[in-house]
Amino acid sequence: MDQWLLRKEGFDPGDAAADGNRFLCANGYMGLRGVPEEAGRELFPAINLAGVYDQYGDRWREPVNAPNALWIGTWFDGRPLSVEDASPASHVTELDYRYGIYRRHTDFGPLRIDSRRLVSMASPHLLLDEYRLTICQDGELRVRTGISTEIWDINGPHLFDFSHKTGETLRTCCVTGEKGIRVAAAQCVDTDWPAAEEQTRGGDGVFRCFRRAVRRGEVWTFRVFASVWTSLDTPEPSEAARACCLQAKAEGFAACLESHRQAWERIWARSEIALEGDGEAALALHASQYHLNCIAPRHADRMSIPARGLSGQTYKGAIFWDAEMFFFPMFVYTQPEIARSLLRYRIATLPGARQKAAEYGYRGAFYAWESQEGGKEGCTNFNVVDVFTHRPVRTYFRDRQIHISADIAYALWHYFEITGDRSLLKEGGASVILECARFYLSRANGHLDSEQVDFADVIGPDEYHERVSNNAFTNQMIAACLEYALRLKEVFADQPDWFGSLLEELGYEADWERLPDLLRRIRPPREQGGVLEQFDGYFALEDCGLDTVRSRLRDPREYWGGDHGVAGTTQVIKQADVLALMALLPERFTDEQVAASWAYYEPRTEHGSSLSACMYALTACRVGRLEEAWRLFMKTAQIDVLGGGKQWAGEIYIGGTHPASNGGAWMIAVLGFAGLRMRGGRLTLHPRLPRQIKRLSFPVTAAGRRYRVEVTREGGTVVPL
């Protein structure tokens, strides 16, 4: 088995959405969905742009898909050759995970197409396609290359006022409807085609057309160079796109490809996990790391990663807690500059978090549940549609998932602990932690007849149970946030004047005195037989199995949670909640508590989110449930190899790649199976390898140094590089 290659034979239009995700090419600036070059809107093609948002009418705001600058179509004897309409004799799609190269091999009978394309990791605005045609019978061939404006949008359209230019470099310019952001795409071609080309422009884009009589045995190659820029990048995006294409053409396809390969080699040198013992697991681990590495914002220093990466407009292209809980661990241990970018995004969006808190009548920083540019809250009050009435259902994700601020404080603190670098704290991170703690001071619910305080009317990670009180995850993450805030004084003990000035600047003197009191009064989780109760009253809910709850569905697309969901009045939960807490804050719980809670909650968990299985796998490693850990690892790591995960929440499409699972696979392998920990400035290992793994080897970076970790069944070593 090739541990770096995803391969699929045949074409089924019903798989187009899933295959577009699985065969994605991306470089952090943009993502190119894995569909054939000739794909029209019905096959969901897209060049998805990071950080460019637009709202059409009263529909959801979402990221913008650019004009398709790598569109190529072929006709033979006047007949269009398309995988969807022409019934090819064979069709194979491949994705090379090591170098992020999409390949397709299609036999249409009269000719065969072999292409390879990529989104350059060496040049963030550049896309490349080498399109080779092998002629299998005499006839007339027509090839059309250009920029298609037939754009697939979920909640669009988003681009208007199209204009086109012909010449050596074709260009399309347009603007977004909401903010007037200019988007420009360019394309030029290098080919050995001997006939003159024709150029056209119109409502569907701008194209060049090559036409001539061909004979059997001839081979014609088109090397296509495309580029996308916006006015967020440069004042003249059209000229920048043109120049980028011409420079790439001058360098040549082979040189551009080699630069791209070298860039990927540098990434793998810092992050690759080598797994010996199971070929399918090794492939899945490479796939997971590829999908997370290819969407990392290497072109920016304060940008984060959407929940569905750059695979499309699902989840509004928003930044969720996934960034801190699931993406951050791999990057902080392999490429800390990317982890820093994720956190600098949160520092930059602190004003938006303060504004959101104020809108709800609180002080401090209440971060957006679905964060778009500037920290703008993208989450609406109606996130689900009832499949029976077709009416929007009121949900409370934006209002009640208050753990988001503590999650961000958690990542900031762990960045400092793992890297030993306190500069990020000094450059705004400390302010974020303090303002998050202030929000919880403001949000806490006190009682006249009790010393304890509650955090009532919240939602934990388990979204099937809304508006609960004292969710264990939420309370304990808040407690951790308060502890981090108080420990900042120790971190800056050698700079007391600076820290004092920060408190004064934030107007924090009175709140600083209140933090220890709130920390002392937070209600600890209740226990029953060693099992932590997920929230007040959870144990009193109907205790029934997953199959029972599933049998109550009248439509497979029904949303399980909320007021009318089939799971809301039962103990069946969507995803890891108590066990997520135990995975993130392991030092707070005994092995006995983890074992008891794991045995209780896992059978009651639907794993209805791709964020769930990895948390159960991590805690399974801790308590010696290695077969279960392995099963959940494979479920996590294979999600973008096999395709899977939920595609619908009510009538809302939620498909796409699964970066949280991708990060989760790294977490299981490194933090679970290898047992890597950073404590007191030292890396330690506590290996718990399942029987399927003979050896794990991977690089890590900690406290400014690089190491090579080797783990076998005999033990593990950490060697400085």
Task: State whether residue 443 is helix, strand or coil.
Answer: helix
For the question of residue 587 being annotated catalytic, the response is no
Residue 683: both structure tokens together: 């890396």
- Chain-centre distance of CA 501, in angstroms? 37
CA 319 to chain centre: 8
Q: Which of 449, 447, 442 minimizes the C-alpha distance to 482?
A: 442
Contacts of 5 (CB under 8 A, 6+ apart): 94, 95, 96, 97, 283
Distance separating alpha carbons of residues 106 and 91, to the nearest angstrom: 4
CB 329 within 8 A of CB 671: yes
Terminal-to-terminal C-alpha distance of the chain: 30
Q: Contacts by 457-461 with C-beta closer than 8 Å and gap 24+?
A: 457/400, 458/400, 458/401, 458/402, 458/403, 459/396, 459/397, 459/400, 459/401, 460/401, 460/403, 460/534, 460/535, 460/577, 461/403, 461/574, 461/575, 461/576, 461/577, 461/580, 461/611
Q: Reading across the β-sheet that carries 68-76, which strands appear in turn?
A: 79-81, 68-76, 139-148, 205-214, 197-202
CA–CA distance, 514 with 494 (Å, rounded to integer): 24
Q: Cα dihedral sign for 459, 462, 463, 468?
A: negative
**Active-site residue, selected from the candidate residues 62, 463, 606, 628:** 463
| Residue 120 near residue 128 (C-beta atoms within 8 A) | yes
Distance from C-alpha of 622 to C-alpha of 679, rounded to nearest angstrom: 17
Cβ atoms of residues 59 and 380 within 8 Å: no
Burial of 647 (0-12, 13-18, 19+ CB in 10 A): middle
Q: HSE (CB half, 13 Å, CA atoms) of 326? A: 30
Contact predicate 693/281, CB 8 Å: yes
How many Cβ atoms from other residues are within 10 Å of residue 542's Cβ?
A: 11
* Cα within 13 Å of Cα(322), Cβ side: 26
Q: Which residues are catalytic?
A: 463
